[in-house]
Amino acid sequence: MAKVTVKKAVKKTAKKVVKKVLDSTDLDEKLVAKYNENKSLYNTIFEYIKCYGGYVTAVGAGCLFGVNAWWGLGFLVTSAIWAYKTTCACKPCKGGAGSCCKG
């Protein structure tokens, strides 16, 4: 029972210390300000990651098949899901008859 009390006290103290450190810094405000300052650059980077990230994971899958088939298969499935979500989410691969397409 004493171990549980000590663990609770340590957790409570750690939470207080972390909260105090986070409250004393303005890191999050600085990050938001920096993002807003360079918003177009960051949005461009995010768009490239969204568009070409599936290709990167597919190449990674090809490289991983030589090392471990299960890891390669996992990366291949990830790249397939990525490709589907970025290109065919509303229009089933250019067919245009999806449930969310409005004609």
Domain ranges of the chain: 54-85
Task: Quick: pLDDT tens for 38-70.
Answer: 788 888 888 888 778 888 899 999 999 989 999
Confidence class of residue 103 from pLDDT cuts 50, 70 and 90? very low
Q: Which long-range contacts (CB under 8 A, 24 or more apart) does 9-18 make?
A: none
- Residue matched to tokens 């409005």: 102
Rounded percentage of the chain residues whose pLDDT exceeds 90:
20
For the chain, percent helix, then strand, then coil, each to nearest 5?
A: 80, 0, 20
Radius of gyration over alpha carbons of the chain, in Å?
A: 23
